[in-house]
């Protein structure tokens, strides 16, 4: 988190992490599509022809609060392909929160696990204790056949402390909830560390309700068949 007293600005960095082709870029595209125009920046994506991010994507958003403070939210994606590890570590630097986008397909279980391990390793190498990083998990591609059952995912969810979301990012389903959950858990952590309410009158609810209002009505996650 960056605090600029003079400009009365708070900047929050959120990173979408996960294995190659899990739908990180698609999440940002859906957020960009679903949000009303106010405070929405340009989505910058850098892709090769086959949907693979080479460096990162960035979507900047702003929230103007009643207290005259501006909250700038920067959403990044990392490139999931194994070869881009140094870029992932770089993009993770200074992150305030992470959304881990897992691929729900049974065939991708190992790729998810490897990417999760790689996230923890990169955080440690950046000097961050993984346990201290606000994290939400999204199981994407719920529309496909051969996905892990909802029951199985919920069982895993009950074992961890992270919030878990189901999504079909291509339809925009579950995308806003994941993002709001990420903002929420990140904000709670920032509030604990920086006492934003006490110091600036900047409370979580003001930011969250403004963002919630800017998303259209919720899109139901579509199941296969
Ligand atoms: N069926 C289905 N396809 C999806 C879904 N989300 C993303 N995809 C597709 O999966 C492919 C990869 O999506 P991306 O968003 O580019 O994946 P990524 O995680 O950014 O991949 P990297 O940049 O390589 O790390 C694209 O063809 C998307 O259209 C989904 O919910 N369902
Ligand atoms: Mg991508």
pLDDT, one tens digit per residue, over 144-153 is 999 999 999 9
Please report where in the chains the tokens 């993770």 appear, as a residue. Answer: 92
State residue 75's pLDDT score. Answer: 98
Mutation choice for ligand 1 from 23, 48, 219, CB with most ligand atoms inside 8 A: 23
Any ligand 1 atom below 6 A from CB of 34: no
Nearest to 94 by CA among 53, 55, 127: 127
Phi, psi of 36 (to 5 degrees): -70, 160
Any ligand 1 atom below 6 A from CB of 53: yes
Any ligand 1 atom below 6 A from CB of 123: no
Which fold, 2-214?
Rossmann fold (3.40.50)
Any ligand 1 atom below 6 A from CB of 111: no
pLDDT tens for each residue of 37-93: 999 999 999 877 678 888 889 999 999 988 889 999 999 999 999 999 999 999 999
One-character DSSP codes across 100-129: EEEE-BGGGHHHHHHHHHHHHHHHHHTT--
Neighbours of 129 (CB within 10 A): 9
What own/partner pairs with CB < 8 Å and gap ≥ 24 does 62-65 have? 63/39, 63/207, 63/210, 63/211, 64/39, 65/202, 65/206, 65/207, 65/210
Any ligand 1 atom below 6 A from CB of 70: no
The ligand with the least distance to the CA atom of 168 is 1
Residues of the chain with pLDDT under 70: 49, 220-225
Q: Domain map of the chain by residue range?
A: 2-214
Any ligand 1 atom below 6 A from CB of 115: no
Q: How far is CA 53 from the centre of its chain?
A: 16
Distance CA 51, CA 37 (A): 25
As given in the structure block, the two tokens for residue 10 are: 């708070």
State residue 222's pLDDT score. Answer: 58
State residue 225's pLDDT score. Answer: 38
State residue 166's pLDDT score. Answer: 97
Mutation choice for ligand 1 from 116, 169, 172, 174, CB with most ligand atoms inside 8 A: 169
Nearest ligand 1 atom to alpha carbon 79: 25
Mutation choice for ligand 1 from 15, 17, 18, 25, CB with most ligand atoms inside 8 A: 25
Distance CA 142, CA 166 (A): 7
As given in the structure block, the two tokens for residue 200 are: 């600036």
State residue 54's pLDDT score. Answer: 83
């Amino acid at each position: 988190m960056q605090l600029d007293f003079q400009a009365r600005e708070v900047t929050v960095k959120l990173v979408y992490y996960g294995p190659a082709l899990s739908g990180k870029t698609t999440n940002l595209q859906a957020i960009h599509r679903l949000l009303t125009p106010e405070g929405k920046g340009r989505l910058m994506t850098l892709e090769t022809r086959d949907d693979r991010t080479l460096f990162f994507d960035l979507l900047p958003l702003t929230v103007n609060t009643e207290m005259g403070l501006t909250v700038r939210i920067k959403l990044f994606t990392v490139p999931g392909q194994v070869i881009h590890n140094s870029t992932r570590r770089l993009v993770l630097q200074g992150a305030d929160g992470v959304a881990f986008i897992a691929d729900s397909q049974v065939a991708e279980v190992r790729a998810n696990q490897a990417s999760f391990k790689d996230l923890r390793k990169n955080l440690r190498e950046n000097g961050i204790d993984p346990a201290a990083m606000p994290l939400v998990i999204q199981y994407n591609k719920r529309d496909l056949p051969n996905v892990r059952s909802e029951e199985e995912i919920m069982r895993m969810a009950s074992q961890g402390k992270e919030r878990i979301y189901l999504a079909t990012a291509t339809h925009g389903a579950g995308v806003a909830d994941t993002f709001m959950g990420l903002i929420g858990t990140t904000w709670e952590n920032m509030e604990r560390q920086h006492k934003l309410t006490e110091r600036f009158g900047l409370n979580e609810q003001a930011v969250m309700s403004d963002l919630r209002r800017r998303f259209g009505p919720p899109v139901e996650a579509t199941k296969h068949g």
